[in-house]
Amino acid sequence: MKSTRTTLTLDDDVVSLLQKEMRRSGVSFKVAVNHYLRVGLITPKQSNRKPFQVTPRPMGLPPGLSYDNVAELLDAIEAPIER
């Protein structure tokens, strides 16, 4: 495999992450950079998963409560449970 020598300017946070990976795995800077460049370039840009969707359901309110009076609604929610 042919190598190309180049100058690369990295942000400080990227250098920090690479150094952490180098300490963890014991690989050289060159190996770490090449590995993560490959991972980033090979990984698909778009996920094939369907987007998560919430299916709303009408929950309703207990009889006698209304969204029009928020203070009353909060009082009813925070009241102790009668047994």
Angstrom distance (rounded) from CA 61 to CA 69 = 12
Angstrom distance (rounded) from CA 29 to CA 23 = 10
Predicted TM-score (pTM) of this structure = 0.51
Q: Is 11 in a helix, a strand, or coil?
A: coil
pLDDT at 44 (0 to 100):
72
**Which residues, at least 6 apart from 35, have a Cβ–Cβ distance to it below 8 Å?**
27
Tokens for 34, please give them: 């090449």
CA 73 to centroid of chain Cα atoms: 34
* Extents of the domains making up the chain: 12-42
Long-range Cβ contacts of 32-41 (<8 Å, 24+ apart): 33/8
pLDDT tens, position by position, 32-72? 999 999 998 988 777 677 888 999 988 777 777 778 888 88
